[in-house]
Amino acid sequence: MSLPVVAIVGRPNVGKSTIFNRLAGERIAIVEDKPGITRDRIYSRSEWNGRDFHVIDTGGLEFDEQDEILEHIRNQAELAIEEADVILFVTDGRDGVTPADEEVARLLHRSNKPVIMAVNKIDDVKHKEDMYEFYRLGFEHVIPVSSIHGTGTGDMLDALVEHFPDKDEAEYDEDTIRVSLIGRPNVGKSSLVNAILGEERVIVSPVAGTTRDAIDTPFEYEGQEYVLIDTAGIRKRGKVYETVEKYSVLRALRAIERSDVCLIVIDGERGIAEQDKKIAGYAHEAGRAAVFVVNKWDAVEKDEKTMDRFKRQIRDHFQFMEYAPILFVSAKTKQRIHQILPMVSEVAEQHAMRISTSVLNQVLHDAMITTPPPSSRGRRFRVQYATQVSVKPPTIVLFVNDPELAHFSYLRYLENQLRNSFSFKGTPLKMLLRKKN
């Protein structure tokens, strides 16, 4: 259920970001001819031979500015070892083996993770011998690549995919609601976990006798099975975890991937931050149900308008997520904590809702009569019929005369009409256009 994760590690300037861009299939990271440049994006979804996976470019993780370069590399390697299923260790074939490469190799050998080594910048077959000295770093898979030309990247991807864990069967029953708490460090996720699990009517299932820490926490509430995703990750504490703001985004991404419902935790005391938007944006893009949980409400000085003002701020900052309900809670005083699970249950139901084709078409038909689609250059957009093709999130295919004629604003109108009729509270809606011949 959770996708395999590939983490790219290596010292600066070897071409990690170039390789990341190739795997991501879009030029999204910033590549510049100087070491240590910050990237826009360090996490992407990718696909090779029908296997989907995630890629992390650890070179884009920002650590403490004061740290020495080696310290940087060590932190990156540590994160890669922690997070990845397979590690892609990139080196520069032109420079040969450097002490920093040796340091990375030493750290990676100590982990039990499979490592694929890409010797990059082998742009020309006549430089292929440059790769042989890298065998002395002791890895079995050493693959010459030129990420600029794309040569060797197929072999590299084959090797990576070969080491993915076996496709895991569904981890939990289809009816179990998978919930995650996501948000920046210190917003109160771990306190909320304790508050929710500490509720009287919550029955936490005893964990089967394993020796390692359970990652998730299954529990029951009002006869419904739930599982709190990545509880161990939320509670984990350590230098790297605390200091790397971006790391919290990675953690959130993996949790989002495995969830049905995401509780997006915002610090009521400190307000909304840029990082909150990124995290929420990923939940939306991934098609998960979402609830905004504004925590630490006890610590906010308020009058009768404060809550409305905060709500408006949330709507302003997260315009693409108007569907997500907002709760104001306090993990500390337990204020409104008892509203969280009923809300989770409600949005989970909407997330899995199926609308019959006849009812769906009736609503769309009425919507198009009330406000007909605008015409453009004498041609009018027309929806012949629609059908819901899947759930989680509800996905609707519109069979139309010509997808090119569809206007964003008109699709938005149709979505709003669907929401007026069916609510879809807490869930994104996917609308796909197909040309009807």
How far apart CA 94 and CA 89 sit, in angstroms, is: 16
Residue closest to 215 by CA, chosen among 258, 247, 273: 258
For ligand GDP, the closer CB: 10 or 393: 10
Vertex 209 angle, CA 207 and 215, to 5° = 50
For ligand GDP, the closer CB: 75 or 427: 75
Residue in 234, 344, 364, 418 binding ligand GDP, rule: CB under 6 A: 234
Stretch that binds ligand GDP, among 103-111, 189-197, 213-221, 405-413 (CB under 6 A): 189-197
> Quick check: 350 binds ligand GDP (CB under 6 A)?
no
Question: What is the footprint of ligand GDP within residues 71-110 (CB under 6 A)?
Answer: none
For ligand GDP, the closer CB: 185 or 287: 185
Stretch that binds ligand GDP, among 63-71, 146-154, 278-286, 314-322 (CB under 6 A): 146-154
Distance of CA 340 to the CA centre of its chain: 22
> Quick check: 155 binds ligand GDP (CB under 6 A)?
no
Contacts of 131 (CB under 8 A, 6+ apart): 93, 119, 122, 142, 144
> Quick check: 2 binds ligand GDP (CB under 6 A)?
no
**Least distance from ligand GDP to the Cβ atom of residue 126, Å:** 14
The 315-334 contact track toward ligand GDP, x by CB under 6 A, reads: ---------------xxx--
How far apart CA 168 and CA 145 sit, in angstroms, is: 31
Sign of the CA dihedral running 288, 290, 296, 301: positive
How far apart CA 322 and CA 319 sit, in angstroms, is: 6
Residue in 62, 95, 103, 123 binding ligand GDP, rule: CB under 6 A: 123
For ligand GDP, the closer CB: 152 or 394: 152
What residues are designated binding site for GTP?
10-17, 57-61, 120-123, 183-190, 230-234, 295-298
Stretch that binds ligand GDP, among 144-152, 249-257, 359-367, 382-390 (CB under 6 A): 144-152
**Least distance from ligand GDP to the Cβ atom of residue 218, Å:** 20
For ligand GDP, the closer CB: 28 or 353: 28
Residue in 81, 157, 187, 261 binding ligand GDP, rule: CB under 6 A: 187
Question: What is the footprint of ligand GDP within residues 32-61 (CB under 6 A)?
Answer: 33, 35, 59
What residues are designated binding site?
10-17, 57-61, 120-123, 183-190, 230-234, 295-298
> Quick check: 217 binds ligand GDP (CB under 6 A)?
no
Structure tokens at 429: 């809606």
Residue in 17, 44, 76, 427 binding ligand GDP, rule: CB under 6 A: 17
Residue in 133, 155, 245, 298 binding ligand GDP, rule: CB under 6 A: 298
For ligand GDP, the closer CB: 8 or 383: 8
How far apart CA 169 and CA 295 sit, in angstroms, is: 35
**Least distance from ligand GDP to the Cβ atom of residue 400, Å:** 42
Exposure on the CB side of residue 181, measured as CA atoms within 13 A: 31
> Quick check: 236 binds ligand GDP (CB under 6 A)?
no
**Least distance from ligand GDP to the Cβ atom of residue 188, Å:** 3
Residue in 120, 153, 231, 388 binding ligand GDP, rule: CB under 6 A: 120
> Quick check: 180 binds ligand GDP (CB under 6 A)?
no
> Quick check: 251 binds ligand GDP (CB under 6 A)?
no
Task: Give me the residues that bind ligand GDP (CB under 6 A), please.
Answer: 10, 12-18, 31, 33, 35, 59, 120-121, 123, 146-148, 183, 185-191, 234, 295-296, 298-299, 330-332
